[in-house]
Structure 1
Amino acid sequence: MVLRKWFLTLLLLSISVSGFSQDPEFILNIEHEMSRLLSQADTDEDKKITVEDSIKSPFWMLSQKGDSVSLSKVYYLSNLLQELALADIQGKDSLQISLRKIREEPATRISRRIKDFFWDDLTRSIDRKGLKHILKDTKASGDVRRLYVPATDSVGIEYYLDLQKEYPDFKMEVLPKKITPEYVKSINDKPGLLALKIENGMGVPFVVPGGRFNEMYGWDSYFEGVGLLIDDCIDLAKAMVDNFVYQIEHYGKILNANRSYYLTRTQPPFMSSFVREVFEASEEKNSDWLRRSLEAAIQEYEEVWMKPGKRLTANGLNRYYAEGIGIPPETEKGHFDEVLSEYAKKHGMSLEDFVTGYSLGEIKDEELDQYFRHDRSVRESGHDTSWRLENRAAHLNTVDLNSLLYKYEKDFEFLIGKYFDGYFTTSSGRSYTSGYWHEKADFRKVLVNLFLWDEIKGGYFDYNFKKGKRIGYISATNFYPLWAGIASEEQAEKMLVNLLNDLKASGGILASAKVSVEETATNEVQRQWDHPNGWAPHQMLLWEGLLNYGYEKEAHDLIYRWLYMITKNAVDYNGTIPEKYDVVNRTHKVYAEYGNVGTEFDYITTAGFGWMNASYQLGLSLLPKKYIEKLNELVPPESVF
């Protein structure tokens, strides 16, 4: 009798909530319910609810109206945990939540959280309001938190001098007017952030790649901007362009990131695309803003990329070429020990003595200098690291860089033609016509096809100008000409076959082909920009490239694979949106150098990762509705295409 009574009670409790109200609401005591939920569902005690937990029993909730519900799906339980944690962060004691919110469709939920929470959490400013991030900065050394300000920025110098009086552990340093590699080396033991634009007494805001960062990265910013524009954060995207203009005007380049040890290094050029897309997304077409931004982009093109002997090579194409002296200081201790040990042996010295002597300039070794020039150039390329670039980056006319500079030339042609009647004069008095940039782009296309196109293989490949031959490494970057518009229709058709054969994986586009890694690698180190990993910027550029040439079905397939992988991992792992994925195994559990930013959090991720967030929003904006419905149902790509 007691058993039957218990069974009847359980049966009543398990009746569908639709028998009561369509969307019951529950008022939950945060501390009590989090404790109860974690004790039942977080069995591995990692402060997350994932598929790796062995859930003890369904989690029951009772509403004030008497509606009851039991939750047993990991996704629903982790959603509830996230909502409780978010309310706790906001300082609330209780949470009023509907069942619909807990059972929110996964793609809808991810996109909503990116728009409503993630961008805000990733936004920084270097001013009085944002200084707390600087003072807690983990990349600074010693007790002093330094900020370096250009000598040419009188507004910034005045602002930070006043701010320095308020914070005893904050120090402003004024950079010399001429910044040399020797100077940058001299401050390696005094690292700090580099100032960005101050306007109206406030720091112009910017988005950082991930929650642990406090600096604005070069090419990350463009892709983040794509996501911001989709999410109607136009003012924030515009502010990031303004910070790029500031960097060009005061540092002479768009920096790898605004850190002192990045002063001699830039990153892949996306300024023209960023300016064009922000301007065209803005309701108010501010011609003064466009003029200043366009002038800065042209200045960057001319002074950073087109000076002979540095990033412009004798054949008329470009390379990455980061300057600097000695061992890059941003790496972890011991990062270069394997390489340095060989040179220490060559000089008949212990590793410690050799490193000390080399760092002080007492030991000279041109071969090692060249190795570090290549290493810095790898980092300038944004692809740090890949076997494609190992110990040869500064000797390569890369497909990606020359495609991006072609895009600059076409953007300049378009912007000057459409918004300046075909004629543009800079503040220094130099004039450009849209026809001038048309000719520059046409000439670059000829050179790219001459040196980088392989007719037999049907694709573009990086060209080693020192050896006079293409390297043959199969990389996602080989397909940038689809995005930039360099490839002819016939070339694009051949490239499509290679892309699908060599780089298509279950979770999207591979960073490089397995065969190329196997043929090139000299040890077992897993480079993060190689097989089996996939990265957001490659996906975004190649989706749009395929669509440019009318390959909609193929593009939708690749978009769906990427979004499915992100969505499934977020559903199974408490909302995780990390920096990179293994696209072969469709997992965020990546075993490569530098770990995987965005996987370490308690209860809830509040930031995701910048260009991952953007890729998700872009992917959803490009997918037809019928595929988004399948995505919300978590239908695997194999059953959709």
Structure 2
Amino acid sequence: MRFLIFLLLPFSLMAQNKETPDQLYGELFTDVQQSGIFPDSKTFVDAIPRRAPADILHDYQAIRSNPAIRFSLERFVEENFHLPLKPISDYESSEPDVVNHINRLWHVLHRKADSAAQGSSLLPLPQSYIVPGGRFREVYYWDSYFTMLGLRESAEDSSIEHMVQNFAWLIDTYGHIPNGNRSYYLSRSQPPFFSLMVELLAGIRGDRIYTDYLPQLRKEWAYWMDSTAPTRHLVHLRDGSVLNRYWDQLDAPRQESWMEDVKTASLFEPGTRPRIYRELRSAAESGWDFSSRWFRDGKSLETIHTTELVPVDLNCLLVHLEQTIAKGLRLKSFNDTARRFESLAAARIKAIRKYCWSPQQGWFMDFDLRLNRAGHVPTLAGMYPFFLGVAEKRQMRAAKKLLQTQFLKPGGVVTTLRYTNEQWDAPNGWAPLQWITVAGLERYGEKALARNIAGRWVALNLRVYRQTGKLTEKYDVVNANRPGGGGEYPAQDGFGWTNGVLLALMKKYNLK
């Protein structure tokens, strides 16, 4: 542990003074969010003020306190803010060829480098980027890796490079990659895929990419490993092993899902609500918001306990990060430090195998800190050890059996085995988890099953596209005639990572 501390770069949350909507607008923010004038809590926090926020708030307070004025909150907001436009990714196509459709869609989802706007929650980025689509008007961290898989197949190499440059800039500017480029996302990150993005770009531009981005890779690692940070990502286990968890540094309602979080927390005593808010936020950091994976009873959001779990997927991603840092150090001939990072990765692999493998289930699980044991309900997060080479070969035999008998459905693989009406549960399938599963199977020699799953997923995507002219965020893999559902918002179209994984799988297996 001593050399781990030695390796930590001088680290602090270097966030610029970027105020969030609740800080800028105070009681106006609260009044708008609880009024329900916008069905989606994200609408107001993405709005851009027409004048100085302080002046808007001053006028709001003055008007509200004047009984002689007949006041309309909705009209006041419309007069003082530019509201987000209807998503331009609400885009249908009569193009029969889905590859041509996606190649056109990249331009619809493309955003130019941003310019700063006073009072906007948007964190301006120096290079162009691709957004997911729908209500997601900004770049998202882990989504972007899977989008890049498709950009590679479309020969959009410069787009990939620009997005990696943006993420490096975010690390240099804020000390980490936030959930998305919005001020209200700065309190958390998302699954750390930056090292995989660097690896992807290195496959295009060459190994110099590993050394070019080595400073940012090390800062990313420092963010997750800093034991003094308010994020508290670090977990020390009884045998001295060091692993990580998801943890948002704030314990208030998510501004972009304010009404939903307040409703959930209202079921608890006031003193308990901050803990619930943090658990909700930490689940959002995982990207799986929400799933029975995070529920103590496996059924209801009210039992969420994200921070009591050591997620198997997060720790596998950190293995890859440590290995990628070591590779960059080797290329620069910093061999002693490279060996230390290789040792860190090896120790993490050993701990994942010890704490997250369930011999009873034959599957990798999240580790429950309170119960001091691996969980008992399998999810597709258990495929990350195969995707990233953490699992032993013998473990694939058991995992393959469970995958075939429980997870495999007509449209691909299902996210979990629980039906809860949460979007990261059955019957939904998601593009990133299809890719991780297929790639993990390929890595361990299970090529036939990998191709089978890829074929089912591609067929489902193409069937829905031919029926609707759209590619969507998620799909019902159990009943191909139903759209994917559940969650806090309607299903979104576009859709970045669906496009990316579909193109990559079609190319890999020559599927049409």
Q: Give TM-score, length-normalised by structure 1.
A: 0.61
Give the Å deviation of 1:211. 4.1
Give the Å deviation of 1:215. 1.1
Aligned 8 A contact 1:579 1:596 in 2: no
Equivalent residues in 2 for 1:134-533, closer than 5 Å: 160=116, 170-171=117-118, 192-197=121-126, 204-282=127-205, 285=206, 287=208, 290-307=210-227, 310-315=232-237, 316-331=242-257, 333-343=259-269, 365=271, 367-390=272-295, 391-417=304-330, 419-421=331-333, 423=335, 433-514=337-418, 517=419, 526-533=421-428
1:122 aligned partner: 109
- 1:550 and 1:306 map into 2 onto residues whose CA distance is 37
- 1:336 and 1:530 map into 2 onto residues whose CA distance is 22
Aligned 8 A contact 1:462 1:473 in 2: no
- 2:315 and 2:353 map into 1 onto residues whose CA distance is 11
2:475 aligned partner: 581
SS of the residue 2:273 aligns to: helix
Which amino acid is 1:370 matched to? Answer: R
Which amino acid is 2:222 matched to? Answer: E
SS of the residue 1:196 aligns to: coil
Aligned 8 A contact 1:597 1:609 in 2: no
Change (3 A) 1:252 1:403: same
Aligned 8 A contact 1:124 1:214 in 2: no
Aligned 8 A contact 2:386 2:440 in 1: yes
Give the Å deviation of 1:568. 0.9
- 2:154 and 2:413 map into 1 onto residues whose CA distance is 24
Q: Quick check: which one's helix share is greater?
A: 2
SS of the residue 2:390 aligns to: coil
2:60 aligned partner: none
1:156 aligned partner: none
- 1:333 and 1:557 map into 2 onto residues whose CA distance is 41
Which is greater in Rg? 1
- 2:251 and 2:492 map into 1 onto residues whose CA distance is 32
Change (3 A) 1:564 1:215: same
- 2:400 and 2:334 map into 1 onto residues whose CA distance is 35
Equivalent residues in 2 for 1:77-156, closer than 5 Å: 82=93, 104=96, 109-115=97-103, 117-127=104-114
Give the Å deviation of 1:338. 4.5
SS of the residue 1:333 aligns to: helix
Change (3 A) 1:537 1:588: farther
- 1:462 and 1:375 map into 2 onto residues whose CA distance is 17
Equivalent residues in 2 for 1:591-610, closer than 5 Å: 591-599=485-493, 608-610=494-496
Change (3 A) 1:82 1:296: closer
1:538 aligned partner: 433
Out of 479, 484, 493, the residue aligned to residue 590 of structure 1 is 484
Which amino acid is 2:114 matched to? Answer: D
Aligned 8 A contact 1:395 1:464 in 2: yes
Which amino acid is 1:538 matched to? Answer: L
Give the Å deviation of 1:269. 0.3
Q: What's the CA shift string for 1:434-484, capped at 9, x where partnerless?
A: 322221111111111111111232121111112212221211001110001
Out of 488, 495, 504, the residue aligned to residue 618 of structure 1 is 504
Aligned 8 A contact 1:276 1:415 in 2: no
Which amino acid is 1:498 matched to? Answer: L
- 2:267 and 2:228 map into 1 onto residues whose CA distance is 35
Q: What's the CA shift string for 1:189-242, capped at 9, x where partnerless?
A: xx6111222xxxxxx011111144321111011111121112111111111111
Matched residues, number: 407
Change (3 A) 1:398 1:239: same
SS of the residue 2:473 aligns to: coil
Q: Give TM-score, length-normalised by structure 2.
A: 0.75
- 2:393 and 2:161 map into 1 onto residues whose CA distance is 34
Q: What's the CA shift string for 1:28-81, capped at 9, x where partnerless?
A: xxxxxxxxxxxxxxxxxxxxxxxxxxxxxxxxxxxxxxxxxxxxxxxxxxxxx9
SS of the residue 1:456 aligns to: coil
Which amino acid is 2:122 matched to? Answer: L
Give the Å deviation of 1:306. 4.5
Q: What's the CA shift string for 1:377-401, capped at 9, x where partnerless?
A: 0000000111111321111111110
Aligned 8 A contact 1:580 1:588 in 2: no
Q: What's the CA shift string for 1:513-568, capped at 9, x where partnerless?
A: 13xx5xxxxxxx51000011000110111111110111110000000000000111
- 1:171 and 1:585 map into 2 onto residues whose CA distance is 47
Change (3 A) 1:222 1:588: farther
Change (3 A) 1:531 1:286: closer
2:467 pairs with 1:554: no
- 1:476 and 1:341 map into 2 onto residues whose CA distance is 30
Aligned 8 A contact 2:251 2:275 in 1: no
Give the Å deviation of 1:308. 6.1
- 2:482 and 2:189 map into 1 onto residues whose CA distance is 29
SS of the residue 1:413 aligns to: helix
Aligned 8 A contact 2:128 2:159 in 1: yes
Change (3 A) 1:597 1:124: farther
SS of the residue 2:122 aligns to: strand
Which amino acid is 1:299 matched to? Answer: K
Which amino acid is 2:486 matched to? Answer: A
**RMSD after superposition:** 2.1
Aligned 8 A contact 1:275 1:294 in 2: no
Aligned 8 A contact 1:416 1:433 in 2: yes
Percent identity between the two aligned chains: 28
2:39 aligned partner: none
Which amino acid is 2:265 matched to? Answer: V
Which amino acid is 1:330 matched to? Answer: E
Give the Å deviation of 1:343. 2.5
Unaligned runs of 5+ in 1: 1-80, 84-101, 129-159, 161-169, 173-190, 198-203, 345-364, 424-431, 518-524, 600-607, 632-641
1:20 aligned partner: none
- 2:134 and 2:478 map into 1 onto residues whose CA distance is 26
- 2:260 and 2:433 map into 1 onto residues whose CA distance is 30
Give the Å deviation of 1:261. 1.0
Aligned 8 A contact 1:320 1:381 in 2: yes
Which amino acid is 1:564 matched to? Answer: A
Unaligned runs of 5+ in 2: 1-91, 296-303
Which amino acid is 2:463 matched to? Answer: K
Q: What's the CA shift string for 1:279-298, capped at 9, x where partnerless?
A: 2212xx483x5434121011
Change (3 A) 1:341 1:549: closer
Change (3 A) 1:396 1:236: same
- 1:587 and 1:376 map into 2 onto residues whose CA distance is 33
- 2:491 and 2:123 map into 1 onto residues whose CA distance is 23
